[in-house]
Amino acid sequence: MLLASWPLALMAQLPAYVADGFPADGQGYYFITTADFGGGPAPSHGVILDGAGHVAFRKTAPAMSTFRAWPDGRMSYASSARHLFMDSTFAVIDTVVCANGLTNDTHDMRVLANGHYLLLGVETLTMDLSGYLLFPPGNAPGSSTAQVKSNVIQELDADENLVWEWHVADHFGFEEVDPARLTNPAVVDWSHCNAVEQDLDGNILLSCRHFNEVIKIDRATGDVLWHLGGASNDFTFTNDAGFFGQHDIRRLPNGDITLFDNGLQDTHPCRGVEYALDEGALTATLVWSREYGAPAWSRAMGSMQRLPNGGAVIGWGAITPDNAVFTTYAEDGAQVNELRFVDTLVTYRATYFEELPFAMPRPGVTCSYTAGEYVLAADAGWPSYQWSNGATTASITAQVGDTLWVEVPAAQTNGRLRSVPYVVGTDCLSMGQPEIASTAFRWYPNPATDFVIIEFKADGGMHDVEIIDATGRSAWHGLLPYGVARLPLSGIADGLLLLRIDGHAHRIVKQ
């Protein structure tokens, strides 16, 4: 289990989190954003975690969500009612919003293979709801001049010109809404669509959370081809009870669909699911699912992503009563890893990338041992440095056993790139010390067992020699003259040792 925390000076930058089950050599990257669902003042962050559960990049932006990478090498995130694109240096290079003044809905945005964008927008309609006896306490009418938020899909071309548009209000009656979502008879969040997807056949899939429904839209005619779930459900669920308040509908290459089922309090736990759809026979068959565990359900947000190895990453949204951010599962449903914040923060979505379409430009850290001190040095060339111990210089001194990382600015944004955490001692022995060849002396055997022989080839006075074990402890230290010396290793644990001769580092394997 990895508990990521740091000095008080840095705590405002990113809250502490717990990463459980992430291997030290874990691969890939996880993209998340933070949102405080507990009503606190915490800022919103976009975060990239490496496969070991360590922060590789972070930035702060208002109400940040839907942070991810795209195959064309760009990244995007939503903030302040806009979709912002960054290049591989994390510089913001473009902003995409709905056309013709339509209010942007930042629940989702897709970049299509042809460079087009699928966007969600929202329009506010004045509707007479006085004939709908659906409002609290359950049979009250709506307002005759209700302000109703209804979703719109827009497709923009690569130059951000509008090429296609579709309106929910043109295809649904008001009664499609789940009455449990109606709280104010005068102001109504009606369809609350939260995911849009181009289907394999070029048509469009749309998730309407407040309808408990996924629909398929004929791109050519605009007709709704089918309804999965909700009041107008066309499908028979052959082995499942269906879903509620769903998020993140996606079509897999095998034709199945995935989504995050937010569930219902006390009766239907939240889960990630995959359905096989027979669109001819109109059947939906559950082929994979994983609950967080009863009685947990998710009040909002959430994501579900199947992985190439058959596993899945499930982002739990505003899960209650627990506070998990995301969990990775194996194909058989066994938990692989899990991330959680230690306070009320949640994430809108969690997205895993086995590989990124660009090199992650994290700063490197090297370790050296000079005049009895360990020195950590960050790569040169960055305009500023911020170490986890509060230091702001390019290099710092450290003690054996310290775990330290450094952050540097990312492009012209307020983002920060973070190094891999460096464990002083262990890392100095195995990663940071350059091995320098010498014609003045040699050492053997290597690998060694009970001893190592050092042979100085020329008379150069006394030589400072030290053997350091894998924990960073000095196992032998002394001055040796010209000639041949035999140093015992029998009291040192097997593993990688560091032989330091006159300040130069050499590796020996004891076995």
Residue 398 near residue 390 (C-beta atoms within 8 A): no
Long-range contacts of 479-485 (CB under 8 A, 24+ apart): 480/454, 480/456, 481/456, 482/456, 482/458, 483/455, 483/456, 484/453, 484/454, 484/455, 484/456, 485/453, 485/454, 485/455
Using one digit for the tens of pLDDT, what is the confidence trace for 25-56? Answer: 899 999 999 988 766 666 799 999 999 999 99
Judge contact between 433 and 367, C-beta under 8 A. yes
Query: Which residues, in sequence order, are bridge partners of residue 50?
Result: 29
Ranges 76-90, 94-108, 396-410: which has the least confidence = 396-410
pLDDT at residue number 22 = 96
User: How far, in whole angstroms, is CA 123 from its chain's centroid?
Assistant: 31
Which single residue is written with the structure tokens 């022989």? Answer: 453
Residue 430 has pLDDT above 60, yes or no: no
Pairwise CA distance, residues 467 & 180, whole Å: 70
Hey, CA dihedral for 178, 184, 185, 186, is it positive or negative? Answer: negative
Are the C-beta atoms of residues 335 and 327 closer than 8 Å to each other?
yes
pLDDT digits (tens, 9 = 90+) for 349-385: 999 999 999 999 999 988 877 667 788 889 888 999 9
Q: By percentage, how much of the chain surpasses pLDDT 70?
A: 91
pLDDT above 60: residue 7: no
Q: In what order do the strands lie in the sheet with 257-261?
A: 236-237, 283-291, 271-278, 257-261, 247-251
- Residue 11: what are its φ and ψ, rounded to 5°? -65, -25
Q: Running DSSP on this structure, what letter comes out for residue 263?
A: -
- Any domain includes 403: yes
pLDDT class for 12, splitting at 50, 70, 90? very low
pLDDT above 90: percentage of residues in the chain: 68
Average pLDDT of the residues in 431-436: 44
Among 430, 460, 476, the domain boundary falls at: 430
Residues 457 and 498 in one domain: yes
CA neighbours within 13 Å on the CB side: how many for 483? Answer: 5
The answer to whether position 373 is within a domain reads: yes
**Domain tally, the chain:** 2
pLDDT at 497 over 90: no
Per DSSP, the three-state class of 401 is coil
What confidence tens digit (pLDDT) does each residue in 274-314 have? 999 999 999 999 999 999 988 899 999 999 999 999 999 99
CA torsion sign for 314, 319, 324, 329 is negative
Domain of residue 438: give its range: 434-510
Q: Are residues 387 and 407 in the same domain?
A: yes
pLDDT of the residue at 366: 85
pLDDT (tens digit per residue) in 172-203: 999 999 999 999 999 999 999 999 999 999 99
Point out the domain boundary residue: 430, 453, 482: 430
Residue 393 belongs to some domain of the structure: yes
Peptide bond before residue 481 is cis, with ω within 30 degrees of 0:
no
Q: What pLDDT score does 469 carry?
A: 76
- Residues 58 and 51: their CA atoms lie apart, in Å, by 15
pLDDT of residue 436: 45
Per-residue pLDDT band at 5 (split at 50, 70, 90): very low
Q: Are 409 and 455 in a shared domain?
A: no
Q: Are residues 448 and 468 in the same domain?
A: yes
Pairing of strands 146-156, 187-189: parallel
Q: How many CB atoms lie within 10 A of CB 199?
A: 15
Q: In angstroms, rounded to a whole number, what is the distance separating the alpha carbons of residues 9 and 25? A: 29
Domain membership of residue 91 (yes or no) is no
pTM of the model: 0.84
Last residue of a domain, one of 430, 457, 487: 430
Q: Coil, helix or strand for 175? A: helix
Q: Is 443 found in the same domain as 397?
A: no
Whole-number CA gyration radius for the chain: 29
The verdict on 485 and 448 lying in the same domain is: yes
In a domain, 498, yes or no: yes
- pLDDT above 60 (res 1): no
First and final C-alpha spacing in the chain: 29
Does 447 fall in a domain? yes
Given this model, what pLDDT does residue 36 score?
85
Q: Compute the distance between CA of residue 249 and CA of residue 260 in angstroms, rounded to an integer.
A: 7
Q: Tokens in use for 35?
A: 């949102």
Largest CA distance in the chain: 103
Flag whether 446 is in a domain.
Answer: yes
For residue 421 the two structure tokens come to: 């955490």
Q: Is 66 within the bounds of a domain? A: no
